[in-house]
Amino acid sequence: MENKIILTGDRPTGRLHIGHFFGSLANRVKLQDEYETYIEIADVQALTDNFNNPDKVRKNVREIVLDYLSVGIDPNKATIFIQSMIPEIAELTVFYSNLVTIARLERNPTVKTEIAQKKELFGESVTYGFLGYPVSQAADITAFHASIIPVGEDQLPLIEQCREIVRKFNSIYGEVLVEPEAVLSKSKRIKGLDGNEKMGKSLGNAIYLSDSEEEITKKVMSAVTDPNRIKKTDLGNPDICMVAYYHNLFTGKEEYEKVCEECRKGERGCVACKKELANNIIEFLRPMREKRAYYEARPEEVDKIIIQGTEKARSKAKQTMEDVKKAMKLDYFN
């Protein structure tokens, strides 16, 4: 059962932004050279809290694939697939739902936090589908015998839940499933333009990988700076300025230090500082935008990537399903 399979993915609920790039995408581009990589567009999972907005989910499936291709995910190395096109995942979810209790799901810290954040959608009573999404996630992981799952700290309870399901399955039916290991992402979470700890669509504080030059400039010009600076000669504090924070990400180390020094000495104007940052971000994202434009102009090429990836993923999941059914004595008439 020794293998080196990695599973990652995203819920297609919006385009990907620079927070995603530094938080996971850049890492995935490296990992695709080292591991057999599966990347899931988790449309079924996206529907658990967007069941009333199927158009949004459908539209973003393609947007996310374009984002993947633009950052350098190589379909010859990584398998990109659509979750709902692998019915074996749904089937595994049903089998695994016998191996987890409602109480255990309700205690899962990640699920608890998310339910609290979705009060507006769920009111006082959460859906069966949303409460059970960690079970579906266990099916995603085990369908491909993935042994390594790169995650942020807040997702560790989901992997623990999956490990419990795997152990229970293997102890009842025999050693069929691989117990995955969570690998904590070393990348840091990128703050929003407004200084919020999280960058997100709903917060309106994100720069998207697909943003145009004009959009990037407009967003950077509205970023939160040191509020005490009125004129250029005011002594500034770059530690409380989001423009300085982003210079640290997109500008070279020396340049960043120069930005901070000039700001502190009152030798740098905020408008010029923002324009410089906007240009650096535009240049950083330029190759991604160009790659995206290439694929946007060739939709049939993108279709082929998705179809071939999904076929490959399905054949792997089918093999797992055969083993699972055999172990569960459900292999009738074989």
Q: How far apart are CB 26 and ligand SF4 at their closest, in Å?
A: 25
The residue among 243, 249, 247, 215 whose CA lies nearest residue 229 is: 243
The smaller minimum CB distance to ligand SF4, of residues 160 and 262, is found at 262
Q: How far apart are CA 308 and CA 78, in angstroms?
A: 11
Beta carbon of residue 236, minimum distance to ligand SF4 (angstroms, whole number): 4
Task: Rank residues 40 and 276 by Cβ distance to ligand SF4 and give the closer one.
Answer: 276
Contact 255, 321 (CB under 8 A): no
- The DSSP annotation for 137-156 comes to HHHHHHHTT--EEEE-GGGH
| Alpha carbon distance 241, 137 (integer Å) | 38
Which CB sits closer to ligand SF4, 97 or 237?
237
Question: What residues pair up with 149 in beta bridges, in sequence order?
Answer: 182
What is the rounded CA–CA span in Å between residue 115 and residue 129?
12
Q: Report, in Å, the least distance between residue 192 CB and ligand SF4.
A: 16
Residue 333 CA to residue 156 CA, distance in Å, equals 40
Looking at the Cβ atoms of 119 and 265, the one nearer to ligand SF4 is 265
| Strand locations in the chain (E) | 5-10, 36-41, 78-82, 148-151, 181-184
Min. distance of Cβ 218 from ligand SF4 in angstroms?
Answer: 16
Instruction: Give counts: helices (H), strands (E), the chain.
Output: 16, 5
Contacting residues toward ligand SF4, per CB under 6 A: 225-226, 229, 236, 238, 241, 243-244, 259, 263, 268, 270, 273-274
Burial classification of residue 120, based on how many CB atoms lie within 10 Å of its CB (0-12 exposed, 13-18 middle, 19 or more buried):
exposed
At what angle are helices 270-296 and 213-221 packed, to 10 degrees? Answer: 150
- Identify which of 177, 190, 175, 180 has the alpha carbon closest to the alpha carbon of residue 159: 180
Residue placing its CB nearer to ligand SF4 in the complex, 122 or 284: 284
Looking at beta carbons only, is 273 or 313 nearer to ligand SF4? Answer: 273
Q: Between 79 and 251, name the residue whose CB sits nearer to ligand SF4.
A: 251
